Structure 1
Amino acid sequence: MAEKRNPSVTETQHVETASPTSSDVLEDVKGCDFTVAEADIPPGYFRSAHFLGSMFAIGSAFGCGVAGFTLAAPILTYIDADIGPNPNLTWVALSYLLTSSIGLIIVGRLTDIFGRRWFFITGSAIATIGSVVCATAPSIPALIAGETLVGVGASVQLSYAFVVSEIVPMKWRSLAQGYVFLWGIPFSGFAPAISYAFVFKTSVGWRGVYYLLIAVNAVSTLTWYLFYKPPSFTMKHGYGRKMEFLKHFDYIGTLLATLGLLLFLMGLSWGGTLYAWDSAHVVSAVVVGVALLIAFFLWEAWAPLREPLLPLYLFRNRGWNVSVILWSLGASTYYALAILWPSMVATLYRGNHGFMWVGWISCLSNCGILFGEYCGAWLKRRTDIQIRVVFIIGSALLGAMAACTPDTPVMACVLAFLTTAFIGWNEILNSAVATIVIDDQREIGTATGAGGSARSTISTICSTVYTVVLSNRLAQTIPAKVPPALISAGLPASSVTAFLGGIAIGNFDDVPGSSPSIIAAGVRAYQEASSSAFSTVFLATLGFSGVGIIVSWWCPNVDKLLVGDVAVTLGETDATKIKDEKA
């Protein structure tokens, strides 16, 4: 095993002292330092079963974590047709998004303090159980319950950034994260096509999505158990101290953060879909959520906490703040396309193509971001310059999509792929830099988990803005363009409402007075109205992109930090630690 750095005098004292000082408490919460210098890493360590098996577990778990949403989201209407209908269908997606987003900050902090091994084993096990519940769900409420479990598991599975980063040399962190994103190719990149294939090409239908998740989650759980053996709680803090840490954990802060994020994100997700924006449900959820989040930050700042959920001194690190902001704004740019692109394809470019064609073309944005993440993973030097360049290009290309019309399908496809590719490049660099620039690698989980929660929250805010802009513009452009075009083509005014309803399902049999020429004129007007609305949203993204471009000028240059040291090595046990200490 690799030789570990011996605990400092402070670290030794805090294990033995009954009444530690504030500085000792801080060291105690962080635990012992397990950093191994590049020269001390044993030959063949990165080919060992512990390392390779852990890398497999991290990658497969990440794939399952994203697939819990990306495979189900494109086919929710078909699921509802089979075991519904149910007015609460949107909760299938909401339950996953809420639980996975909120869990990131909690998982990061808990695993920093108590050790990571059993959290990640349990996370994949919960996701497996959730997949079983979904696969056998007889109704939408049962499916919601299953997706909630899948989301809880995903909050652990999507905490890949700090787990994979701490077990590889600092200089290879972006490449290690690039490896993890390879697992996103089938589970995210081609998710719409796979989902449609299960529905239209197999006898198991939509349940096949969850059969696939059961299998991969089960294998992931097994590999976590067999191979992933990072430092345990005992190795971090010594024997007989777990109850002390449980006693002093920040339960109030955790409750405030959980409820605050839950209500805030729930309110944003409800607005304009389940309830009107000015409804009591939305307003009260958002207001109370914001109040609880403010209370959370005040609690973390002023309460005498030994183990705060979110140490606020993290926010004094400018490099970390900049990386998290750009990570979040880049993700919000991607989500703009994730929301708009499938709808654009189905509305503007489907034509006479079938559902599988729509599924394949809808994959372009997901494939683009994965391609960019993988390309960016190889170029680890001068990440500050890279981030500025790719963020500007990606933002400009996204804004350029405002020029797309129903007559420019090739241009739209090229821009959708290139936009997400450059934003993916931005994402891989910032997610890696956020793990590198922190002051103490023993808090990598806390810092990265907080960054992941911030990314999710900011992305949700931006996505909400895009959704509102789109719905408001459609409410203007469709009445302005479609009815006049239909009436001019010869459709009776009394049939316009029925025609608009037929567009939604692609069936005009029940529209009185319709004809092939009238249908063609109406569909064309609907496409032009939708295109105008999409263009407005793409232009609206420039506001958020502009903020990111300005912030990018403060990107940190981490070249001097890209060394061969490894923050944590795998495979040691408490018995090994005791033996080393005696020696």
Structure 2
Amino acid sequence: MASTADEAPAVQNEKVDAIKPFPADVPAVHNTENDATGKVFSIDDMDLPKGYFRTVHFWGSMFAIGMSLMCGVAGFSFIAPLLSIVNNDIGPSDDINWVALTYTLTGAVGLMIVGRLTDIFGRRWFFIVGSALALLGSIVCAVAPNIPAMIAGETLIGLGSSAQLSFVFAVGELVPMRYRVLANSYCYLWLILPNGFGPVIGYAFEYESNAGWRGSFYLLTAMNAVCTGAWYLFYHPPTFAMKHGSGAVMAYIRDFDYVGTLMATLGLLLFLMGLSWGGGMYEWKSAHVIATVVVGFLLLVAFFVWEIYVPLKEPLLPVHLLKNRDWLVCILMWSIGASVYYAFAVIWPDMVSALYADQHDIMWSGWAAGVVGSGITAGEILAGFAKKRIHWVIRVVFFSGAALLACMATCTPDTPTRAIVLLLLGTTFIGANECLTSTCASICITDQREIGTALGIGGSSRSFVSTLCGTVYTVVLANRLATTIPSQVPAALIAAGLPASETEAFITAYGSGGATAASANGVVPGLNETILAVGVHAYKVASSDAYRTVFYSTIAFSGIGILLSFFVPDVDKMLTGEVAITLRPKENAEDVVPRSKLEEDAHV
């Protein structure tokens, strides 16, 4: 727990002979309850050197963190709207879905591992290597001659994003506790480009330039190059030697929880892969889906049993975190908030295409598809102005966002403006919840040296819950479309004069290629312009009824979030001037704490 201002002098007078953190005249306290965390580097902002927050290393690190977040999100948002175009260009391949799947899976699994490893071994080189991997992946995708090469490139980008998306703890530990919400809000400013304009950028490269879809990766390559350089030049947090002593590295490597890491990695990969396959690449009842989901689930159960009951020196998941109710509630609120808007991130682009796209040009569809990302980003930025009673702010924004998104069920094919306004406002509120709950999760942990572990687990939990809920939404939509279209469209077509024997041909053609495919010569012989207009409208109404069911289904998840919001902790008293770590361009001898010294202190 962060020390309050009146407690600070007592803490500083304890163990005055301890090895000193930066600056050298401020004593530190060693806490060896969990040896993996190593030396304490926290300091009150009043004790920092004058002008510390104006140094090139501080602002260079802030630039690297923001740029890294932008690159991590852009690694997929730039190309996501163009996957079908990519497949037509360098395919076709039935494996095109793996371009998206590999990015999602590697990022979800990597967040937890990166958080824990960087807590133990230091963050600097993990972040440098992560950006370098994303840079390499961008180059591979930019020159990819086929879909397997694209998959390989997105795998590298996804691995890199595990470090690039770890911004919450990277920025949180650099600033005083009372400014963490504002610091996170600053980071979200960097998402304006990939979240708000990602689809537009993708469409612009494809339709308004000679570079085509590869232009997105040319831009991403340049961004990742700048990001990698910024990490290397400016970011110098405490190293492993500063944390534990340079001679202890082999001991920490030996004691690391490899079994738990393997079970968690395979469990998450298989479970999320099975959910992503179901209803798309394979039928839900197929052996591919059932086997991966079941085996993945059993491995995750085994992982928790292993972490709880096996005595581990350096577990991947410290059990005491699970006993911290405040942290757990914040993580669940963070995850459920993401799952509520995930429905719209997945469903909305399809809804735009099915209900509204033929009324506007292609660039309008690109702008409309970016509404979800724009709203989320706007909320994340605006949340930075919350300074007090944050727990009440979370309750208000979550309820407001959930209510507005549920109101999307009132939208029809004739109300695109209403849909965009409701969606923009709803996702803005949910975005605020995202910023506030993730920040609160970083504040209410009892040991700030575990901030990477705590928020890495939170990031993986967010991906897990979002994928699980996203699967529910897509299954609900598919089942409803299979009911509403056959029950509504044929009747409307027959009433308009189309022979009953030709209604199935119309539904098949329109579903695969829209009005252009349905009206092609010979596809539906009895079709004329009047019948076509009736059929298109009926198909849109039937689709709208299916989407309405999805929006109703979000109420189940948002209801859980509303109940949990009443248990969100009041962190106002923890918003102190404590800074978890300071940047150290040079490693001084007095910064090194041998592992033996830590072990001796544990027995004092």
The TM-score by the shorter chain falls in which range? over 0.9
Equivalent residue number for residue 19 of structure 1: none
Q: Which of 66, 78, 83 does residue 71 from structure 1 map onto?
A: 78
Alignment partner of 1:491 is 2:498: yes
Equivalent residue number for residue 569 of structure 2: 556
Q: Which of 268, 271, 287 does residue 264 from structure 1 map onto?
A: 271
Could you tell me how far apart the structure 1 residues matched to 2:271 and 2:251 are? 33
Listed one character per residue, the Cα deviations across residues 124-156 of structure 1 (whole Å, up to 9, x for unaligned) are 000000011111100001100110000000011
Equivalent residue number for residue 371 of structure 1: 378
Tell whether the 8 Å contact from 2:331 to 2:458 is kept in structure 1 after alignment: yes
Listed one character per residue, the Cα deviations across residues 438-462 of structure 1 (whole Å, up to 9, x for unaligned) are 0000000000000111111011111
Offset of residue 304 of structure 1? 2.0
Equivalences for residues 113-192 of structure 1 within 5 A: 113-192=120-199
TM-score by length of 1: 0.95
Alignment partner of 1:55 is 2:62: yes
Tell whether the 8 Å contact from 1:26 to 1:306 is kept in structure 2 after alignment: no
Listed one character per residue, the Cα deviations across residues 343-366 of structure 1 (whole Å, up to 9, x for unaligned) are 121211223311111001111111
Equivalent residue number for residue 384 of structure 1: 391
Tell whether the 8 Å contact from 2:244 to 2:593 is kept in structure 1 after alignment: no
Equivalent residue number for residue 247 of structure 2: 240
Alignment partner of 1:537 is 2:544: no
Offset of residue 9 of structure 1? 9.0
Please state whether the residue corresponding to 1:568 is helix, strand or coil: coil
Equivalent residue number for residue 347 of structure 1: 354
Alpha carbons of structure 1 residues 488 and 8: separation in structure 2 relative to 1, 3 Å: farther
Could you tell me how far apart the structure 2 residues matched to 1:250 and 1:331 are? 29
Alignment partner of 1:505 is 2:513: yes
Alignment partner of 1:323 is 2:336: no
Could you tell me how far apart the structure 1 residues matched to 2:548 and 2:293 are? 29
Tell whether the 8 Å contact from 1:193 to 1:356 is kept in structure 2 after alignment: yes
Could you tell me how far apart the structure 1 residues matched to 2:223 and 2:13 are? 39
Tell whether the 8 Å contact from 1:435 to 1:444 is kept in structure 2 after alignment: yes
Alignment partner of 1:35 is 2:42: yes
Offset of residue 496 of structure 1? 2.4
Tell whether the 8 Å contact from 1:7 to 1:32 is kept in structure 2 after alignment: no
Please state whether the residue corresponding to 2:525 is helix, strand or coil: coil
Listed one character per residue, the Cα deviations across residues 185-212 of structure 1 (whole Å, up to 9, x for unaligned) are 1111111111111110011100011111
Could you tell me how far apart the structure 2 residues matched to 1:157 and 1:398 are? 29
Tell whether the 8 Å contact from 2:263 to 2:300 is kept in structure 1 after alignment: yes
Could you tell me how far apart the structure 2 residues matched to 1:578 and 1:359 are? 52
Q: Which of 449, 453, 456 does residue 446 from structure 1 map onto?
A: 453
* Amino acid in the other structure paired with 1:566: V
Alignment partner of 1:278 is 2:285: yes
Could you tell me how far apart the structure 2 residues matched to 1:511 and 1:381 are? 64
Equivalent residue number for residue 208 of structure 2: 201
4+ long deviations beyond 4 Å: 4-12, 578-581
Equivalent residue number for residue 18 of structure 1: none
Please state whether the residue corresponding to 2:82 is helix, strand or coil: helix
Provide the identity percentage.
56
Listed one character per residue, the Cα deviations across residues 564-583 of structure 1 (whole Å, up to 9, x for unaligned) are 111111124322645999xx
Could you tell me how far apart the structure 2 residues matched to 1:110 and 1:26 are? 18
Offset of residue 518 of structure 1? 1.2
Tell whether the 8 Å contact from 2:245 to 2:592 is kept in structure 1 after alignment: no
Listed one character per residue, the Cα deviations across residues 268-306 of structure 1 (whole Å, up to 9, x for unaligned) are 101111111111111110110011011111111122210
* Amino acid in the other structure paired with 1:154: S
Alpha carbons of structure 1 residues 360 and 7: separation in structure 2 relative to 1, 3 Å: farther
TM-score by length of 2: 0.92
Offset of residue 239 of structure 1? 2.4
Tell whether the 8 Å contact from 2:245 to 2:593 is kept in structure 1 after alignment: no
After superposing the two structures, state which structure 1 stretch, 335-344 or 468-477, moved more: 335-344
Please state whether the residue corresponding to 1:190 is helix, strand or coil: helix
Offset of residue 72 of structure 1? 1.3
Equivalent residue number for residue 535 of structure 2: 522
Q: Which of 395, 398, 401 does residue 402 from structure 2 map onto?
A: 395
Could you tell me how far apart the structure 2 residues matched to 1:100 and 1:554 are? 29
* Amino acid in the other structure paired with 1:526: Y
Listed one character per residue, the Cα deviations across residues 231-253 of structure 1 (whole Å, up to 9, x for unaligned) are 00000001200011001100000
* Amino acid in the other structure paired with 1:491: L
Offset of residue 71 of structure 1? 1.2
Could you tell me how far apart the structure 2 residues matched to 1:578 and 1:364 are? 48
Could you tell me how far apart the structure 2 residues matched to 1:254 and 1:72 are? 31
Listed one character per residue, the Cα deviations across residues 479-536 of structure 1 (whole Å, up to 9, x for unaligned) are 0111111222222333323322332323121332221111111110011001100110
* Amino acid in the other structure paired with 1:323: C
Could you tell me how far apart the structure 1 residues matched to 2:153 and 2:180 are? 34
Could you tell me how far apart the structure 1 residues matched to 2:589 and 2:432 are? 41
Could you tell me how far apart the structure 2 residues matched to 1:391 and 1:168 are? 26
Tell whether the 8 Å contact from 2:31 to 2:39 is kept in structure 1 after alignment: no
Equivalent residue number for residue 575 of structure 1: 588
Alpha carbons of structure 1 residues 179 and 185: separation in structure 2 relative to 1, 3 Å: same
Q: Which of 212, 237, 257 does residue 219 from structure 2 map onto?
A: 212
Listed as ranges, the gaps of 5+ residues in structure 2 are 1-10, 20-29, 595-604
Alpha carbons of structure 1 residues 307 and 525: separation in structure 2 relative to 1, 3 Å: same
Offset of residue 5 of structure 1? 6.6
Could you tell me how far apart the structure 1 residues matched to 2:411 and 2:138 are? 39
Tell whether the 8 Å contact from 2:241 to 2:593 is kept in structure 1 after alignment: no
Could you tell me how far apart the structure 2 residues matched to 1:527 and 1:211 are? 38
Could you tell me how far apart the structure 2 residues matched to 1:537 and 1:240 are? 56
Listed as ranges, the gaps of 5+ residues in structure 1 are 13-22
Could you tell me how far apart the structure 2 residues matched to 1:106 and 1:580 are? 25
Tell whether the 8 Å contact from 2:37 to 2:450 is kept in structure 1 after alignment: yes
* Amino acid in the other structure paired with 1:220: C
Q: Which of 221, 235, 254 does residue 261 from structure 2 map onto?
A: 254
Equivalent residue number for residue 432 of structure 1: 439
Could you tell me how far apart the structure 1 residues matched to 2:572 and 2:430 are? 22
* Amino acid in the other structure paired with 2:460: S
Please state whether the residue corresponding to 1:387 is helix, strand or coil: helix
Please state whether the residue corresponding to 1:543 is helix, strand or coil: helix
Could you tell me how far apart the structure 1 residues matched to 2:362 and 2:506 are? 22
Could you tell me how far apart the structure 1 residues matched to 2:479 and 2:205 are? 35
